[in-house]
Structure 1
Amino acid sequence: MKNYPHIGIQIPEILLPREGIDLTKWAVIACDQFTSEPEYWHKVEEIVGEAPSTLNLVLPEVYLEEPDVPQRVQKIQQTMRDYLEQGIFTSREGFIYVERTVGGKTRKGLLLALDLEHYDYNKGASSLIRATEGTILERLPPRMKIREGAPLELPHILVLIDDPEGTVIEPLTAQKERLTPLYDFDLMLGSGHLSGYAVEDADLERGVVAALENLAHPESFTAKYGIPQDSPVLLFAMGDGNHSLATAKAIWEKIKGTVGMEHPARYALVEIENVHDSGLLFEPIHRLLFGLQKDIFAEMRAWYGENYAYRPAANQEEMAARVASKASGASEAEGKHLIGVVPSQGFGTLEIANPASNLPVGTLQAFL
């Protein structure tokens, strides 16, 4: 396996189901989905039956409060060992380019491993790989119980890169005919279609690494965001599965003193996607404030100081247009973060100059 510690990645060994296994039954949705709908998971069990499946290798969180969780964990780890002994898998080293089609849209990704030495899930982290949401530490122990002693890693981790020029993943899309098809099948219960291709061409592999190196170059990074030149580089931002990556990090920190820095637990398998991929649909997560005891605008003015400005908007459309204009790069608010605000009356935008965070959500969350 090839390691590139300066950009926090490894070209990993990936295990795939051997030929002849029903991939529709093999692949299941992430374990933290449908946590209030046990009937969904019952349907999955019916579809899978006795077939080999990742259903037998994960603990759906809908069952976390069940009294038999310890027994479930033991069974999961034993099934992992059984699958390895039974020759369920074939091994492949290298990047895997993937395409997922859901609802008529196709998004592209790349499977690789991230170096957990470059990841920090704590608030205010300045690492190369960072969380984009708060990490709830109470959610880690159940995951750690499964991962500790498990011979396999089954991630559902999506990591985002900010690559507006499409230099990392998009060249693989353009050269797809040079890739080796690995799988192509429908996912169960309306989850769409999945295709995977091995990146075996050395030039394409080097191109991916070089493009990531360019995104991680300090001068390129600070120029892109208009931030101070000494700002730490953020190359990989968590998109989904933050608690799974945090679990991997927690276990790595726990064992690295005894197993050494070359141990495979140092790395976690993820899929990276370009935040600019047209197939990615982002839904905003609004911050709703209840029971305010103080003037929120006065508090923001005090917090942000001379960097603070607030502009009323005539209506919701004007507010949204301003924020969209900034996001597209067409706004005059260069070097500022724009955040839509809906106070008790009317609409407006919060404008923060010289932001300490790379993303507007981080600028707002620091105040909240």
Structure 2
Amino acid sequence: MQRCTKPVAMLLPAPGVDLEKWAVVACDQYTSQPDYWQQVQDLVGDNPSTLRLTLPEIWLEEPDAPQRIQAISRAMEEYQANGLLRPTAPGMMLVRRQMEGVAAPRWGLVMAVDLEAYDYREGSDSLIRPTERTVPQRIPARLAVREAATLELPHILLLIDDPRRTVIEPVAAICSELERAYDTPLMLGGGQLTGWFIPGGPRTEKIQQALEALAAPERLRERYGAPADAPALQFATGDGNHSMAAARARWEQIRETLTPQQRQEHPARWALAEVVNLQDESLEIEPIHRLVTGVDPETILQDAGNYFAAQGAQAQLLEQAPEKEAPWTIRWVAGEKNGWLCIQPNGRWALPVAALQAFLDDRMPQWEGAKPDYIHGEETLCTLCAGAQCIGFVLPEFRKEDLFRGVVLDGVLPRKTFSMGRAQDKRYYMEARRIMP
């Protein structure tokens, strides 16, 4: 099996940098909440921060995005020239995240993964696979950020399904023997983040061997009932799928300019990511809800009934919760009104989110002025639905056991199917890595 991980040199904020102001939540969060990002800007002020090195997606398609991207590129060079980033030896980072309101910490390992072993295209059989369909139209804007960047700061979370806890947990058990690289509270309810550096050597080799054992074809057959010829699967993207796709697209651009030998050594071939065990006690897999603004909710609900009828699926729109819950029951919220969309599966879709997303994808072009969004947290969704011309769909719970089995047997899940916890539980930027020689 191709080895698709390695220890790698990283860049960490230098001593004296205020780490609480340095570490900012993943750029793809709070996309409908500009007040959150205003709070971040107010808190950071003029201090060194990953806010200067990343582009929150709330501004990704704004008219001034090109100017923001150029400012990011300049800041990356300034931070390196001014000594605000210090290099480590090649290695991995053991990270512990204590989240507010969650009893158990989340453990992970930051390492480099080979972008040659990742393919986001539908039907992929690569060692690293997306859990959801990648939207090609979403890549260029993210690629533009990476094209101008000399550094990467990862918010990608790669999942492993390791119920016997053979990869991360043995290292976590001996963290006191490792060098503590950072320990800081995180801004705006993010909890606490601690990192221990693992130098490249016997420990990282043992980690890599344990990862490869998880991907063995015989294990996929045993755990998921995969066919004998099922391709090996080592990682499934949990968060940051489109960032990973942009990294792959950028590598494809660079690869064309290199000799075969240079392709083996170029730093852009690799991407930093945090590896997390799907079976981690703290890991909550939550559905990502749907929001549509700019359209009369009654129009959307009427179209929903017509769409599912045309697809041969029995669907009901109810004003009261059904006495006997249908197999797929999706609650909708519009201002002070709410109701239930009940769908009887007909074999066309494997999950309720797939049925709802198929409807939205089909009808969205017909709703003039419509803007879709994907919202983490039912409470946040209901708050955003308080005004006129908006409707939210509350999706039912998503089971952990459906995730890897779905990727192994059916390929990818519908985009934005699940979220690993709340928005404030997402990865915060800490480590960086140079991706240009």
What TM-score results when the alignment is normalised by the length of structure 2?
A: 0.67
**Pick aligned residue for 2:271 from 268, 271, 285:** 268
* TM-aligned CA distance change 1:171 to 1:201, over 3 Å: farther
Gaps of 5+ in 2: 291-300, 315-322, 330-348, 356-403, 416-437
- C-alpha deviations, 1:93-151, integer Å up to 9, x for none? 20100011112331110000110111010111111111111111222122211211311
Q: What residue in structure 2 maps to residue 99 of structure 1?
A: 96
Q: Determine if the alignment matches structure 1 residue 9 to structure 2 residue 11.
A: no
- Give 1:42 deviation, angstroms: 1.2
- Give 1:271 deviation, angstroms: 0.3
* TM-aligned CA distance change 1:340 to 1:134, over 3 Å: closer
* TM-aligned CA distance change 1:201 to 1:138, over 3 Å: closer
**Pick aligned residue for 2:82 from 82, 86, 102:** 86
Q: What residue in structure 2 maps to residue 170 of structure 1?
A: 169
Q: Determine if the alignment matches structure 1 residue 130 to structure 2 residue 129.
A: yes
- C-alpha deviations, 1:289-309, integer Å up to 9, x for none? 752114338xxxxxxxxxxxx
**Pick aligned residue for 1:296 from 291, 299, 313:** 313
- Give 1:66 deviation, angstroms: 2.7
Moved more, 161-170 or 174-183: 174-183
Task: Measure, in 2, the Cα distance between the counterparts of 1:54 and 1:363.
Answer: 31
What SS does the corresponding residue of 1:52 show, helix, strand or coil?
coil
Task: Measure, in 2, the Cα distance between the counterparts of 1:52 and 1:185.
Answer: 15
Gaps of 5+ in 1: 298-313, 321-337, 344-354
Task: Measure, in 1, the Cα distance between the counterparts of 2:167 and 2:82.
Answer: 37
Q: What residue in structure 2 maps to residue 284 of structure 1?
A: 287
Q: What residue in structure 1 maps to residue 183 of structure 2?
A: 184
Structure-to-structure mapping, 1:206-355, within 5 angstroms: 206-259=205-258, 260-261=262-263, 262-284=265-287, 290=305, 291-292=307-308, 293-296=310-313, 316=325
Assess if the C-alpha contact under 8 Å between 1:34 and 1:62 holds in 2.
yes
- The CA RMSD over aligned residues, in Å, is 3.0
Letter in 2 for 1:159: L
**Pick aligned residue for 1:18 from 10, 14, 18:** 14
* TM-aligned CA distance change 1:33 to 1:285, over 3 Å: closer
- C-alpha deviations, 1:236-259, integer Å up to 9, x for none? 001000000000000111120213
Q: Determine if the alignment matches structure 1 residue 40 to structure 2 residue 36.
A: yes
What SS does the corresponding residue of 1:76 show, helix, strand or coil?
helix
Assess if the C-alpha contact under 8 Å between 1:7 and 1:212 holds in 2.
no
- Give 1:204 deviation, angstroms: 2.3
What TM-score results when the alignment is normalised by the length of structure 1?
A: 0.79
- Give 1:363 deviation, angstroms: 8.3
Q: Percent identity?
A: 46
Assess if the C-alpha contact under 8 Å between 1:115 and 1:268 holds in 2.
yes
Task: Measure, in 2, the Cα distance between the counterparts of 1:44 and 1:158.
Answer: 22
Q: What residue in structure 1 maps to residue 67 of structure 2?
A: 71
- C-alpha deviations, 1:54-85, integer Å up to 9, x for none? 00111112123432211111111001000010
Task: Measure, in 2, the Cα distance between the counterparts of 1:206 and 1:27.
Answer: 29
- C-alpha deviations, 1:238-288, integer Å up to 9, x for none? 100000000000011112021331211100000010000011000135899
* TM-aligned CA distance change 1:294 to 1:221, over 3 Å: closer
* TM-aligned CA distance change 1:96 to 1:317, over 3 Å: farther
Moved more, 194-203 or 16-25: 194-203
Q: What residue in structure 2 maps to residue 302 of structure 1?
A: none
- Give 1:217 deviation, angstroms: 2.1
- Give 1:28 deviation, angstroms: 0.5
* TM-aligned CA distance change 1:280 to 1:223, over 3 Å: same
* TM-aligned CA distance change 1:208 to 1:142, over 3 Å: same
- Larger RCO, structure (CA 8 Å, separation 6 or more): 2
Task: Measure, in 2, the Cα distance between the counterparts of 1:247 and 1:202.
Answer: 30
- Give 1:184 deviation, angstroms: 0.7
Task: Measure, in 2, the Cα distance between the counterparts of 1:50 and 1:81.
Answer: 17
